[in-house]
Amino acid sequence: MSAAAPEQRPVRFGILGCASIARKVARAMLLAPGAAVTAVGSRSEEKARLFAADNGLPAAGLRLHGSYEALLDDPNVDAVYLPLPTSLHVRWATAAAARGKHVLLEKPTALCAADLDAILAACDAAGVQFMDSTMWMHHPRTAKMREFVDDKDAIGDIKVMNSAFSFRANKDFLQNDIRVKPDLDALGALGDIGWYCIRAILWAVDYELPKTVIALCDPVKNQAGVLLSCGATLYWADGKNATFSCSFLTNLTMDMTLIGTNGTLHVTDFVIPYQEKSAEFSVASKSAFAELHIGWDPLPNKHVVMTDLPQEALMVQEFARLVQKIRDAGGKPEGKWPAITRKTQVVLDAVKASIDKGSEPVEVVS
């Protein structure tokens, strides 16, 4: 009998900043095979200690750092998860890459494509893996939906796409959250939740960039000029179109609809499934009116996809696998993830430009 392959060393993560989203990802790192949290860095050691205690991070071997620099200098960290405000991403993501740390970056990844390019160039120069933390990409439902999207018989050619993500923010959020502060997260709702809508649309067309975007009229901004509610329509040269809307002002909604020549795919919780262990979507294929137009025939089919690990843990697991390949086997970083991030950012930039120009058409430049 051949000897069993040695178990790979886990990827040692440092969490750079103690934002609320970091709690969810810290839990994911505890659940994900191949990952371990070895360090937490905050602007004070006490804040790092509180974060570790509140999130059940094992004290044994955990290093607590009272500055971001100290965490990046920690030799026991392979990769950093970076949930800082968007305006700090360039500084700290490039610093992490320069110190040889792999970068799992919270979205929106940058305030503009030029800033993102600086981050990606730093990762490229250092030979480290980059991935953004768009978690739904890693849910097995997403792979199952891809099978239908690619099925020309079931769906055909996708012609129309709609996506919406909103939640009703409370008064405290609208006054104090970093996502409404122009110096921290200047993209507001567009960056925080519009990112997901744009990603869903690009995912549906296998990341073919649209030719033009036109922002929806009369976006809602706060007194500081940060977007609270907005949207846009995207146009492709071959006649495809997509519309999305995102808002901090309306009920929690996460819809994606893809309409093809032969079928329609609907999902109503695409960013965060209603339940952690199962997720649904529906497909209506070759739909027609029933006799006398009193119903549909055939009816749509519902598909349920189960998962043992939540999507954020699957994201961490995949990122860790890519890092292990580089660290332990001399592999090269996977280029798919930065390419997808950049396309999302480029479309987001065009939407922002159209908003700033009063909903004028803006060409998407790759």
Nearest to 162 by CA among 69, 70, 264: 264
CA distance 68 to 108: 20
Residue with tokens 């949930």: 83
Report the C-alpha gap between 129 and 11 in whole angstroms.
12
φ, ψ of residue 253 in degrees (nearest 5):
-145, 135
Distance (Å, rounded) from C-alpha 337 to C-alpha 80?
A: 16
CA torsion sign, 87 to 92 to 97 to 101? negative
Alpha helices in 41-168 (DSSP H): 45-54, 68-72, 89-98, 113-126, 140-149
Rounded to whole angstroms, the Cα distance separating 351 from 194 reads 10
| Residue 131, beta-bridge partner list | 104
Give the C-alpha separation, 235 to 242, whole Å.
7
Contact present, 39 and 99 (Cβ < 8 Å): no
Question: Residue 291 burial (CB < 10 Å; 0-12/13-18/19+)?
Answer: exposed
Q: What crossing angle do the helices spanning 311-329 and 20-31 adopt, rounded to 10°?
A: 70
Q: Give rounded-to-5 percent helix, strand, coil for the chain.
A: 35, 25, 35
Task: Indicate if 211 belongs to the active site.
Answer: no
The conformation of residue 138, written as its DSSP 8-state character, comes to: G
Provide the 10 A C-beta neighbour count for residue 299: 11
Question: Is the Cα dihedral 253, 81, 142, 233 positive or negative?
Answer: positive
Closest to 116 (Cα-Cα) out of 356, 354, 342: 342
Look up tokens 């479309």; give the residue.
Answer: 347
Among 101, 107, 240, 352, the active-site one is: 107
Catalytic annotation, residues: 107
